[in-house]
């Protein structure tokens, strides 16, 4: 298969969509151009995933790297982009004051997707860093799109904190490159493979310092605690489809970068320290998320801390190492992408219906919105890792892998914190579902369209299927991805 042509098409389609949207300048055309683009992108990422070779493929004058793990992350991007594009039609139509600028939103959304489709395929860590920086710039405009004071503040906070973190990541990449000069000379091709090859000859202190800088730097982009302070604001203040893209797609890409740098440390023979550092940040993230979820009142802000929780779970999975925990982490990626998208869509529906972000003012949700409310409730059960949904299987697999790892203590900490988060989530939804009637005159009257509920169904069905049935083909694919350098 001609992967170069597939990748070129994957990038060309959203690029052309941006030009068309800005040229036509009509909101309704922009909606459907973006939707059509997302369908094509999803089809291309699925094709790449199905046909990806069982080894690392380098192409495009050695600038493009395609691996099974990279293809999996690309597929998550394509999937969330499709769901967010469907939902955006219903959600953005509920914001009539944004209509004159609506075409710009869809151009930005297509641009955001384009940057996320570029980053996982970069064979040069420096260019990977540039691509991640572009995702920050484009998504910051989306976070502040509604132009409310809180949105603009969140966008600036996002830019400043993530940029500071990425500056540390850039310093780490420079140190990795410098370590290679002792063996390969003053100049050489900066690729993931070259850094892994030269890692055994790099001094231990330099190698581990470089990894810590990239871990903290890209960990800021992932939103791992304690570098997470931008995440609750950005995820909660942007439009709901943007929140889904940030949480369900973008965070996976930054975590892919961390895992690739971890593979360099593994190649250098110091993987225990690297895995332990990632594991510790994952546990801290899970703890911080649990403490804040308990006391949250904002619907999307609670989901933002849930993203911190699940990035912590992924960090723990990759930190445990080993084929079982790795498979659980990859399975967790797709289940989290689907479930968190569904949850942000439900939150967006309820926020527009009740005219508030506060869960304390959302009452009798099932009575007024039986379909959307029921899906949102089922999504809440799923996002906490309860059976019979996909996140339950992925978290159990990670815990099983952790028992066999050098750090089994984290298994018990993770299990306790997940139980705490489950109780907190269900308590919030108990009040929204069975709480007292809304105050007179505050009853929601908004009618939700099929655009508001269809993407929730499209996310719910696979997370239920993936919870009841782990396809054997996926298991083999995860084992193949573990054996191939990321």
152 lies in which domain range?
Answer: 3-483
Number of domains within the chain: 1
Task: Calculate mean pLDDT across residues 314-321.
Answer: 95
Mean pLDDT in the chain? 93
**Residues 246-270: pLDDT tens digits?**
999 999 999 999 999 999 999 988 8
Q: How far apart are alpha carbons 311 and 315 in whole angstroms?
A: 6
Q: How far apart are alpha carbons 340 and 338 in whole angstroms?
A: 6
| Count of other CB atoms within 10 angstroms of residue 351 | 20
Asked which of 38-42, 63-67, 92-96, 176-180 is least confident by mean pLDDT, the reply is 92-96
| CB-CB contact of 293 with 254 (8 Å) | no
Residue 97 predicted with pLDDT over 70: no
- Going by pLDDT thresholds of 50, 70 and 90, the confidence category of residue 25 is confident
- Going by pLDDT thresholds of 50, 70 and 90, the confidence category of residue 3 is confident
Stated pTM of the model: 0.96
Q: Is 435 or 206 the better-scoring residue by pLDDT? A: 206
**Which residues have CB under 8 Å from 97's CB, separation 6+?**
none
pLDDT at position 406 is: 87
- Going by pLDDT thresholds of 50, 70 and 90, the confidence category of residue 141 is very high
Q: How far apart are alpha carbons 276 and 230 in whole angstroms?
A: 25
Q: How far is CA 466 from the centre of its chain?
A: 18
Q: Is 272 or 169 the better-scoring residue by pLDDT? A: 169
pLDDT at position 98 is: 63
Q: Specify whether the backbone of 448 is left (phi greater than 0), alpha (psi in -120 to 50) or beta.
A: beta
pLDDT at position 235 is: 85
Asked which of 108-117, 158-167, 358-367 is least confident by mean pLDDT, the reply is 358-367
Selection from 331, 294, 295 nearest residue 310 by Cα: 331
Residue 434 predicted with pLDDT over 90: no
pLDDT at position 248 is: 94
pLDDT at position 454 is: 96
Task: Calculate mean pLDDT across residues 434-448.
Answer: 78
Selection from 178, 318, 348 nearest residue 247 by Cα: 348
Which letter, b or e, does each residue of 215-238 get, where b requires 16 or more Cβ atoms within 10 Å of its Cβ?
bbbbbbbbbbbebbebbbbbbbbb
Structure tokens at 363: 């009452």
- Going by pLDDT thresholds of 50, 70 and 90, the confidence category of residue 69 is very high
Task: Calculate mean pLDDT across residues 59-72.
Answer: 93
């Amino acid at each position: 298969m001609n992967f170069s042509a597939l990748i070129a098409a994957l990038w060309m389609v959203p690029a052309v969509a941006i030009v068309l949207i800005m040229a036509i300048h009509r909101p309704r055309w922009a909606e459907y151009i973006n939707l059509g683009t997302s369908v094509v992108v999803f089809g291309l990422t699925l094709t790449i995933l199905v046909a990806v070779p069982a080894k690392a493929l380098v192409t495009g004058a050695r600038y493009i790297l395609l691996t099974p793990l990279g293809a999996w992350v690309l597929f998550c991007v394509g999937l969330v982009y499709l769901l967010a594009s469907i939902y955006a039609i219903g959600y953005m139509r509920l914001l009539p004051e944004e209509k004159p600028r609506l075409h710009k939103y869809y151009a930005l959304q297509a641009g955001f997707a384009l940057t996320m489709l570029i980053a996982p395929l970069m064979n040069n860590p420096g260019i990977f860093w540039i691509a991640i920086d572009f995702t920050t710039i484009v998504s910051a405009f989306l976070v502040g799109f509604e132009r409310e004071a809180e949105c603009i503040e969140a966008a600036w906070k996002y830019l400043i904190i993530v940029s500071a973190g990425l500056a540390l990541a850039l310093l780490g990449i420079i140190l990795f490159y410098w370590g290679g000069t002792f063996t390969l000379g003053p100049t050489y091709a900066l690729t993931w493979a070259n850094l892994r090859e030269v890692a055994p000859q790099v001094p231990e202190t330099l190698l581990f310092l470089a990894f810590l800088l990239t871990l903290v730097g890209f960990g800021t982009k992932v939103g791992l605690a304690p570098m997470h302070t931008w995440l609750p604001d950005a995820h909660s203040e942007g439009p709901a489809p943007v929140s889904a893209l940030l949480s369900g797609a973008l965070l996976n890409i930054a975590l892919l970068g961390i895992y690739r740098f971890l593979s360099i440390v593994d190649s250098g023979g110091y993987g225990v320290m690297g895995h332990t550092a990632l594991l510790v940040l994952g546990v801290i993230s899970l703890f911080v998320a649990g403490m804040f979820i308990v006391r949250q009142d904002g619907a999307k802000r609670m989901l933002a801390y849930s993203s911190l929780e699940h990035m912590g779970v992924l960090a723990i999975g990759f930190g445990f190492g080993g084929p079982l925990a790795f498979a659980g982490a990859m399975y967790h990626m797709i289940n989290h992408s689907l479930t968190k998208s569904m949850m942000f869509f439900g939150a967006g529906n309820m926020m527009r219906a009740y005219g508030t972000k506060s869960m304390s003012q959302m009452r009798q949700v099932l009575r007024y919105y039986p379909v959307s409310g029921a899906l949102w409730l089922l999504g809440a059960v799923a996002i906490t890792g309860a059976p019979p949904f996909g996140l339950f299987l992925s978290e159990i697999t990670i815990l099983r892998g952790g028992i066999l790892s050098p750090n089994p203590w984290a298994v018990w900490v993770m299990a306790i914190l997940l139980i705490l988060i489950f109780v907190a989530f269900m308590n919030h939804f108990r009040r929204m579902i069975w709480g007292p009637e809304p105050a007179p005159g505050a009853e929601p009257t908004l009618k939700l369209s099929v655009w508001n509920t269809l993407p929730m169904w499209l996310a719910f069905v696979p997370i239920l299927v993936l919870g009841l049935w782990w396809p054997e083909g996926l298991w083999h694919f995860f084992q193949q991805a573990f054996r191939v350098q990321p």
